[in-house]
Structure 1
């Protein structure tokens, strides 16, 4: 199968980023990317998708935010061209923004009815096509110089012609933050698992009983990375939840149904993800981008200076 569409969920208002998220969508918060340029978070996520072969993107947003995104990107592009006339990097960045806006769609989530409902809002955009799903408040950094996290996932999904979710081995004290799963590792593919069971944010006692995965280090579990490739059947399953009268449409029960009804794999992605909504999440993500990019030495120097200053204040 060919994966050419991506969905980015960005409808939440970002209460944990108060008060900044009251005045700007959290996905438009600026950070310095690995290329050393300031960009909105949503642009960095979109470029992750485009660099991995995606051609069209749908942002699931709160009512009215679609026009705000368009206006913000237009302003950003115009300012680049006017403020840095004849600068090659500015022209290249303006072209990237043009490409993003020209291939961007929006789907509004009128009410907060669960993460599965947010995904379902993009059903008209995805149609009968498979799609890449990304979170609007996660930044992803690959450990591989030439292969993005999304590209790793898309490659396996294309090869195996099935849904694939990215996972990371996660220490047991953190599993309460994530959807956690277990499965059987494929004998011919390292880090690839046939998913058996998924539990959303399990307790450690429940994980010890039901989510142990052979081959992982003791005290580690497979947790969702915040990135998936899904076949169209996921949308059909989510729609059935709506038709059943469920008020809160969750994604995890649908993924359990998916694992029981068709081939569904998990891939240990070589990379890291950073949740911007968590306390100090934006700071951690910025440091990680700095250390992974062109500003590595400058970032290291800044960290050394800050640590030295903190030490003198003791």
Structure 2
């Protein structure tokens, strides 16, 4: 019997140097896409998939993330006094319940694998979801919800994948797959940034994972790789030699909010996906483009 997925890890210790000076005093994860911080969009996805415990791996100057997921009594009282019931209900609806959030520090920038390893004591001996906050997934269904459904059928480890142009595969972590089996694809190969012309497919890992706790043991032994960092993909490749690994395909839109173009396009896409904004926003865009 597979253990259920109850916990999700969010690595939020990055410096956000590509967005300076905006990120000089504000974490990049708190930059807003329409009217919600990037990290809130990702937590929303996890909540929609039934995640019960949210684990944030933070760094220096990230206290505002912790504040965001806590009660703001003065603001709540002000909204209540002014009769802004709708706004108050929205704020409270977004809050995780008492005891549902944990925060741990990654004291040194040693890579994604190290950030995941920093959450080991909070995750414990159970499988967990890992969501990279930079990567926003916009689709008819939450990406992690589909992954969790596949996990319930297959167990093991999973990654979400999406198609990228064949001539860009060297920029991504790429997987090779077997034919679909009940909503998931057994993974036959996993390569981090393969050399041009050597990729087993054009399916890139999209920043969503379900991993077994064995990954922590492998990360503890992992030697530093590219850039002197502990690479998660290296540990996953080792794990795939011991345990089953599957892929689920995400067919919606993926926006890399770690890049300026990706962040700007995310704002456009999420605005157009909002019923109350889509019409007026589209008209403004078309008018702006018509002016050249």
Please give the TM-score of this superposition, normalised by the length of structure 2. 0.90
Cα drift, residue 292 of structure 1: 1.8
Equivalent residue in structure 1 for 2:154, among 155, 160, 181: 160
Q: Secondary structure at the match of 2:197?
A: helix
For residues 264 and 170 of structure 1, the distance between their equivalents in structure 2, rounded to whole angstroms, comes to 21
CA 1:239–1:89 in 2, change beyond 3 Å: closer, same or farther? same
Q: Secondary structure at the match of 1:289?
A: helix
Work out whether 1:265 is the aligned partner of 2:220.
no
Cα drift, residue 28 of structure 1: 0.8
Work out whether 1:27 is the aligned partner of 2:29.
yes
Equivalent residue in structure 2 for 1:300, among 282, 287, 291: 282
For residues 272 and 225 of structure 1, the distance between their equivalents in structure 2, rounded to whole angstroms, comes to 11
Cα drift, residue 25 of structure 1: 0.2
Query: Per-residue displacement from partner, 1:66-125 (whole Å, max 9, x unpaired)?
Result: x33233455867436524733332122221243267522111111111211111111111
Cα drift, residue 242 of structure 1: 6.1
Which segments of 5 or more consecutive residues in structure 1 lack a partner in the other structure? 33-37, 213-220
Query: Per-residue displacement from partner, 1:119-146 (whole Å, max 9, x unpaired)?
Result: 111111110111110012221111x2xx
Residue number in structure 1 paired with 2:109 = 112
Equivalent residue in structure 2 for 1:15, among 14, 17, 34: 17
Work out whether 1:251 is the aligned partner of 2:232.
yes
Aligned pairs (5 A) from 1:96-135: 96-99=93-96, 102-135=99-132
CA 1:116–1:297 in 2, change beyond 3 Å: closer, same or farther? same
Higher deviation after alignment, 233-242 or 40-49: 233-242
Equivalent residue in structure 2 for 1:189, among 171, 174, 182: 182
Residue number in structure 2 paired with 1:216 = none
Work out whether 1:86 is the aligned partner of 2:83.
yes
For residues 98 and 31 of structure 1, the distance between their equivalents in structure 2, rounded to whole angstroms, comes to 18
For residues 281 and 108 of structure 1, the distance between their equivalents in structure 2, rounded to whole angstroms, comes to 27
Residue number in structure 1 paired with 2:65 = 69
CA 1:298–1:202 in 2, change beyond 3 Å: closer, same or farther? farther
Please give the TM-score of this superposition, normalised by the length of structure 1. 0.84
CA 1:95–1:43 in 2, change beyond 3 Å: closer, same or farther? same
For residues 45 and 96 of structure 1, the distance between their equivalents in structure 2, rounded to whole angstroms, comes to 15
Cα drift, residue 223 of structure 1: 0.4
For residues 40 and 102 of structure 1, the distance between their equivalents in structure 2, rounded to whole angstroms, comes to 22
For residues 196 and 288 of structure 1, the distance between their equivalents in structure 2, rounded to whole angstroms, comes to 33
Cα drift, residue 284 of structure 1: 0.5
Residue number in structure 2 paired with 1:149 = 143
For residues 247 and 17 of structure 1, the distance between their equivalents in structure 2, rounded to whole angstroms, comes to 23
RMSD of equivalent CA atoms: 2.3
CA 1:135–1:112 in 2, change beyond 3 Å: closer, same or farther? same
Work out whether 1:202 is the aligned partner of 2:194.
yes
For residues 90 and 70 of structure 2, the distance between their equivalents in structure 1, rounded to whole angstroms, comes to 12
Conserved 8 A contact 1:28-1:40: yes
For residues 103 and 286 of structure 2, the distance between their equivalents in structure 1, rounded to whole angstroms, comes to 43
Number of residue pairs aligned between Structure 1 and Structure 2: 286
Equivalent residue in structure 2 for 1:5, among 4, 7, 10: 7
Conserved 8 A contact 2:106-2:118: yes
